[in-house]
Amino acid sequence: MRPYSLLFDHLLTRTDPEQAHHAAFAAIRAAAPLTGKGYRRLVPDCSVKALGLDFANVLGLAAGFDKNAVGIDALAALGFGHVEIGTVTGEAQPGNPKPRLFRLTDDRAIVNRMGFNNDGAEVVARRLAERRRERDRRHQGHGPILGVNIGKTKVVPEEDAVADYEKSTRLLAPEADYLVVNVSSPNTPGLRNLQAVEKLEPLLTAVRRQADAVAPKRVPLLVKIAPDLDDDDVLAVVDLASATGLDGIIATNTTISRDGLASPAGRVEAVGAGGLSGRPLTQRSLEVLRLLNQRTDELTLVSVGGITTLEDALARLDAGATLLQGYTAFVYEGPMWPRTILRGLAGR
């Protein structure tokens, strides 16, 4: 058994998941000087061009792990070719009451109802600007491709959502390599209603216009969708994305479904509401990706949801994904997981 598996099974599973996350993330940041030195030796060169950007490799870290842009370069040192921070909202917010993060270990899954807890767009924008200045001062170059995922502030009513997203865009687009409009988290009331085409179109148009007004160069814009959309709605989002000049789609976010879980029903019920991520999403996320790929050959497709093994990664690339993202597998498999996947991809 690998050392991380022993640590996870015998220690981390007995620790509150949110506390374990903060401790693990702190350790990743502290170890960055060492992990960064070994990066080129341990991670093969498998660069890819997408969204008009040069990615070091196809595998990135999905939004949700680094909500506040405090460990971008440390995470990249583990092998991720891009890091997507957030979700960031226009206003700072504490998120939902704790406990709000749970493991379903029998399913290699996580349930979260974090509620977009983050420092807010103003603070995160300042942090990103300081990081950029510090890298320039140290002659460290650009660093990993940086995605910024933005969402709606909980207290902002749905009718004011566009202005809320515009605020985040105005502050964050100048620091982002690409921007993601998140309308698919199940943990902000009313958010998923914005996936409806009649509401999504003015939102995406406003974000695109605002990004163009403030960024020194064009920032690619993507939308992140839920796996719970039915097939017709998935296709409608593709058509809208193409019509409004979007650059790509990230598929998929977490699910509210609890179908087919191996975990005891009592455990699932005790965990309660929230978005489910991990292995149970593998099949539906792949199905959504195939739908998207059949509908468009213009948009960059980023696949996330249930990618754990090399075979999972290869299946997504074969189904039309240009880029991949992980989150839950990183939690369960440990810090060597991105390098393991990338070495496998390079060998195949």
Tell me the C-alpha distance between 219 and 210, whole Å.
Answer: 11
68 is in an annotated binding site: no
Decide if 114 contacts 100 (C-beta within 8 A): yes
Rounded (10°) CA dihedral 232, 226, 341, 47? 80
Reading phi first (left if > 0) and then psi (alpha if -120 to 50, else beta), residue 63 is in beta
Calculate Rg over the CA atoms of the chain. 19
278 is in an annotated binding site: yes
55 is in an annotated binding site: no
293 is in an annotated binding site: no
197 Cβ contact partners less than 8 Å away, ≥ 6 residues apart = 236, 237, 240
25 is in an annotated binding site: no
Say which of 185, 277, 285, 303 is annotated catalytic: 185
Angle, CA 300 vertex, CA 53 and CA 311 arms, to 5°: 100
98 is in an annotated binding site: no
244 is in an annotated binding site: no
Decide if 195 contacts 233 (C-beta within 8 A): yes
67 is in an annotated binding site: yes
114 is in an annotated binding site: yes
Question: Is 5 considered catalytic here?
Answer: no
**Nearest C-alpha neighbor of 335 from the set 99, 140, 71, 86:** 71
106 is in an annotated binding site: no
112 is in an annotated binding site: yes
57 is in an annotated binding site: no
Per-residue 3-state assignment (H helix, E strand, C coil) for 234-246: HHHHHHHHHHCCC
Tell me the C-alpha distance between 150 and 32, whole Å.
Answer: 26
328 is in an annotated binding site: yes
Angle, CA 237 vertex, CA 236 and CA 240 arms, to 5°: 90
336 is in an annotated binding site: no
Q: Which residues are annotated as a binding site?
A: 63-67, 87, 112-116, 149, 182, 187, 224, 252-254, 278, 306, 327-328
Q: Which residues are annotated as a binding site for substrate?
A: 67, 112-116, 182, 187, 253-254
Q: Which residues are annotated as a binding site for FMN?
A: 63-67, 87, 149, 182, 224, 252, 278, 306, 327-328
Q: Which residues are catalytic?
A: 185
